[in-house]
Structure 1
Amino acid sequence: MKSGLVAYKIYRALSHGISPLIQLHLRWRRFRGLEHLQRWPERLGQPSQPRRPGPLVWFHAVSLGEGMIAIPVIKHCLQRMPQLNVLMTITTLSAFEVLSNRLPSEIILQFSPVDTPASISSFLQYWKPNAIVLMESELWPNLIMDASKNGITMALLNARISEKSFNLWSGSVLLPLISLMLSKFSLIAPLSTEQGVRFQLLQAPPYIINYSGDLKYVIEDIGLNESGRKNIDNLRHQLSQKQVWMASSIHRGEEEIILGVHTVLMQLQPNIVTIIVPRHPQQGREIAKKLELEGHNVVLRSQHGRLKPETNIYVVDTLGELRQLYTLTPIAVIGGSFLPGMSGHNISEAAAAGCAILTVISGRHVGHFSHMVLEMQQSNPLSVLQVSGKLELEKSLIDLFTNTTLLEARRRAATEAFCMLSSNIVANVWSLLNFHIFSGLFSEMKLHNITAKTMSNEAS
């Protein structure tokens, strides 16, 4: 414990010393369009909305994916505790752009503070959270230690730590620090038993580690506006006479593999449309521009163009629509695993939409999503098809397009596996939060209600 405190003091001094450089870096990111033009000071702990009276729980997620898995938990908490204030923070601008218009109005949305002593102190002093719920792998020393010093209970949901980070934290230099940080949590709910073992090896107290299921199975459809729904329905109509497949969450370099497969399929299925959904919108625009220069007839989603008879590639350069887009295709190839060193992506949304799911294995496993692939295959062996590379992917897609019985069997298997694995997860998480985190808040909320009622009676 003493060596952990020494390591933390060194980290705190270093993070304080480089604070001016971090501010300059944020301004540079703002100039490049990577931070919000008006609200970037929130990253320094400066609030832009009022702190409402009463108990407040702070949910923190980095990007859109982590934010989406927090929403079902937040909604369940608000149903059980309607008087609860919820503050949600995210880090990325893309997550803010999607969530700011789609979160329930009672949730306060802010950008998260950077992990410098001044920013964290300013943030905590203003918002005064009664509890903090961190999503997945947000382990920041100043945040965790300052929250503990202020008596704020903390939970880590869908907790995971990558193999690279595990190797880093488990070294003799950083192990005392991570052990100290993990000891400050009241609850760690790992997304898999393998992840739970990693946290135990990092010396997290065993009694705070409780498995509840992977929250990525319960990502909700946070909905589109009327215009968005009409647009999806219109696209569905345009694709109704086509053979459709989708390659989603594609990273740079993976599009070359997808386009190669597309060329082979076109020779056998001239009526085919390939939907490409890159991880980042700008990448989609680059792919579309390149394909147009090569003479392909491409439609870019943000331009809302209609598919022509000769259109065979549809490129998505928008965010927050993946769940709806999966409903347009019977087959989904999930990216992020085509090239060595990649960690894969969430397959549950495709399963929820009833897609036949394919993943490409470039190495031993698909990063931290390997447990999801394994769970679904154990639930139903036909639910996820793993292929070894481009040639096997081509063969598998041809089989699916030419064998309707096989395609329907795989679609049905994915849906059944998803339904089985997604049941009761939010209820399990609520039970854990209620026991480890919220039990103390109920008494505070009752006290707050009694005080408010007394003041109201006195005023009248």
Structure 2
Amino acid sequence: MRVGLFIYNLLYGLSLPALLTVAKFTSEKRGGFSVKRRFLSFPSKSKVKGRDIWIHCASIGEVNSARPLIEKLKDRAIVTTFTDYGADRALKLFPEIPVYVIPPDMKLFTDRFVKSLGAKKLLVYETEIWPSLLTSAIEQKVEVYFVSGKITESSFSLYKRFSSVLSYIFESSVFLARSDEDAERARKLNFAKVKTVGDLKFDSVTEPKPINVSIGNRFPIIVWGSTHEGEEELAGKIHVKLKEEFPGILTIVAPRHVGRAESLRSLLPGKTVLRTQSKGVPSDTDFYVVDTVGELPSFYGLGDIAVIGGTFNEKVGGHNPLEPMVSAVPVVVGPHYSHFREIISKVKECIIFSTSENLFDKISLLLKNDELRHRIGTCGKKVLEKERGVTERILKEVFA
């Protein structure tokens, strides 16, 4: 084992008990954390027989974004995730595909895990880098591709700092970048091959399915999607002010982590109904909280305006602004969108940018101007259609 990787494994092993404890604690509100899944649920030959493409996604958001790629390869694919809730989402979307949570990132475990998969190609969505896992794959002659790969400035600096551990991985892998900027950073890290293919998120959004919910004739409907701490309080304040001008307003709140949903009852200043509590929204309801997984795109489609969660919380860096655009719903984005900067740069003409301080004014303007609301919504959908085709470009490179 290389010196850098040996030291990494040693430190990782010493830290593992603490890491597992922290992971179990922090995952309580996100669907749980299973130690058994990581240590004992290794693939069996019978389940992965004939499946030679291994697709890895970090968590639930990445599984959703990689969906079109997984669908194209579903007869040959094995899917792995880092989180339990990511795996649960993959199992729900693709019940016919074997899905596993990756083991702790020590060669002792990853060598066995990779061997049990028996895959020929590994497609890592975006840039989920686990040194031992990837080294095990490369040593066992698995072709490694980073698809729709991204490398932020901060990540670039980190990867350079730990080049003694990561250089072998980079020099043995293909980087199919989401943007030219990501591709340029990948070249500086000496990836074996680099090419820009685009962002899979443009392919991952599809027309939402009709949803079983009875709302009635409410206007306006404001949908806050994938919200985090502090954003629900902001949604509540905006709702109260808007209600003075629009008494029929309904605010739909979909917290990023559904485990937080029940606690929102005490945060939101009005009658609050949970999705799991009722599929009907009583006429006097102020807030309808979506405490289910996978229904947010359909709720976006019901909205007059969509506010993207994570963009008003500087610790998060935003969530996908494309999901409402497929339904031609105008999108409002806060100041913190570092994780989606590249996507937002391509659709910036179709977005209303706001701060917490002027959010009420921006939403009020949209609601009072039907023409502006329609123009912003239509603009987003047109750009989305123009940027599609990433899946086919990835497959062309992988199977060239």
TM-score normalized by the length of structure 2: 0.91
Alignment partner of 1:346 is 2:346: no
Between the aligned partners of 1:46 and 1:29, the Cα distance in structure 2 is 22
Alignment partner of 1:394 is 2:390: no
1:169-208 to 2 correspondence within 5 Å? 169-171=159-161, 174-185=162-173, 187-205=174-192, 208=193
Partner of residue 83, structure 2: 92
> How far did residue 316 of structure 1 move?
1.4
Higher mean C-alpha displacement, 88-97 vs 114-123: 88-97
Number of aligned positions between the proteins: 398
Between the aligned partners of 1:196 and 1:300, the Cα distance in structure 2 is 44
The answer (yes or no) to whether the contact 1:46–1:123 under 8 Å persists in 2 is: no
Alignment partner of 1:13 is 2:4: no
The answer (yes or no) to whether the contact 2:205–2:326 under 8 Å persists in 1 is: no
Name the CA shift for 1:290/1:360 in 2 (closer, same or farther; >3 Å).
closer
Alignment partner of 1:372 is 2:343: yes
Alignment partner of 1:126 is 2:116: yes
Name the CA shift for 1:168/1:60 in 2 (closer, same or farther; >3 Å).
same
User: Could you give the per-residue CA deviations for residues 2-40 of structure 1, whole angstroms, max 9, x where no partner exists?
Assistant: xx943122113333455566667778789996224xxx4
Between the aligned partners of 1:425 and 1:215, the Cα distance in structure 2 is 6
Alignment partner of 1:217 is 2:215: no
What is the identity, as a one-letter code, of the residue corresponding to 2:386? M
The answer (yes or no) to whether the contact 1:245–1:331 under 8 Å persists in 2 is: yes
Percent identity between matched residues is 23
The answer (yes or no) to whether the contact 2:43–2:113 under 8 Å persists in 1 is: no
Between the aligned partners of 1:333 and 1:219, the Cα distance in structure 2 is 19
Between the aligned partners of 1:27 and 1:148, the Cα distance in structure 2 is 30
1:38-437 to 2 correspondence within 5 Å? 40-44=35-39, 46-47=41-42, 49=44, 50-78=46-74, 85-105=76-96, 107-171=97-161, 174-185=162-173, 187-205=174-192, 208-220=193-205, 232-235=211-214, 238-291=215-268, 296-304=270-278, 306-362=280-336, 366-377=337-348, 381=349, 383-387=350-354, 389-422=355-388, 424-435=389-400
> How far did residue 117 of structure 1 move?
1.6
Between the aligned partners of 1:222 and 1:403, the Cα distance in structure 2 is 25
> How far did residue 202 of structure 1 move?
2.7
Between the aligned partners of 2:228 and 2:20, the Cα distance in structure 1 is 30
SS of the aligned residue for 1:390 comes to coil
SS of the aligned residue for 2:93 comes to coil
SS of the aligned residue for 1:101 comes to helix
What is the identity, as a one-letter code, of the residue corresponding to 2:396? S
RMSD between aligned residues: 2.6
SS of the aligned residue for 1:302 comes to coil
User: Could you give the per-residue CA deviations for residues 38-93 of structure 1, whole angstroms, max 9, x where no partner exists?
Assistant: xx433126326534433511111111111122221122235xxxxx5311012223
Name the CA shift for 1:163/1:335 in 2 (closer, same or farther; >3 Å).
farther
The answer (yes or no) to whether the contact 2:208–2:301 under 8 Å persists in 1 is: no
> How far did residue 222 of structure 1 move?
10
Between the aligned partners of 1:386 and 1:261, the Cα distance in structure 2 is 16
In our comparison, the structure showing a higher alpha carbon Rg is 1
Between the aligned partners of 2:208 and 2:324, the Cα distance in structure 1 is 16
SS of the aligned residue for 1:325 comes to helix
SS of the aligned residue for 2:243 comes to helix
Higher mean C-alpha displacement, 406-415 vs 189-198: 189-198
The answer (yes or no) to whether the contact 2:172–2:191 under 8 Å persists in 1 is: no
The answer (yes or no) to whether the contact 1:63–1:95 under 8 Å persists in 2 is: yes
The answer (yes or no) to whether the contact 1:15–1:117 under 8 Å persists in 2 is: no
User: Could you give the per-residue CA deviations for residues 185-230 of structure 1, whole angstroms, max 9, x where no partner exists?
Assistant: 1x2112222222222233334xx11111100111155987xxxx5x
Name the CA shift for 1:234/1:211 in 2 (closer, same or farther; >3 Å).
same
SS of the aligned residue for 1:310 comes to coil
SS of the aligned residue for 1:8 comes to helix
What is the identity, as a one-letter code, of the residue corresponding to 1:203? N
Name the CA shift for 1:239/1:332 in 2 (closer, same or farther; >3 Å).
farther
> How far did residue 416 of structure 1 move?
0.8
User: Could you give the per-residue CA deviations for residues 209-253 of structure 1, whole angstroms, max 9, x where no partner exists?
Assistant: 1111100111155987xxxx5xx2433xx2433311111121111
What is the identity, as a one-letter code, of the residue corresponding to 1:66? E
5+ residue gaps, structure 1: 79-83, 436-460
SS of the aligned residue for 2:190 comes to coil
Between the aligned partners of 1:71 and 1:408, the Cα distance in structure 2 is 29
SS of the aligned residue for 2:302 comes to coil
1:25-44 to 2 correspondence within 5 Å? 34-36=32-34, 40-44=35-39
The answer (yes or no) to whether the contact 2:229–2:313 under 8 Å persists in 1 is: no
SS of the aligned residue for 1:100 comes to helix
The answer (yes or no) to whether the contact 2:205–2:323 under 8 Å persists in 1 is: no
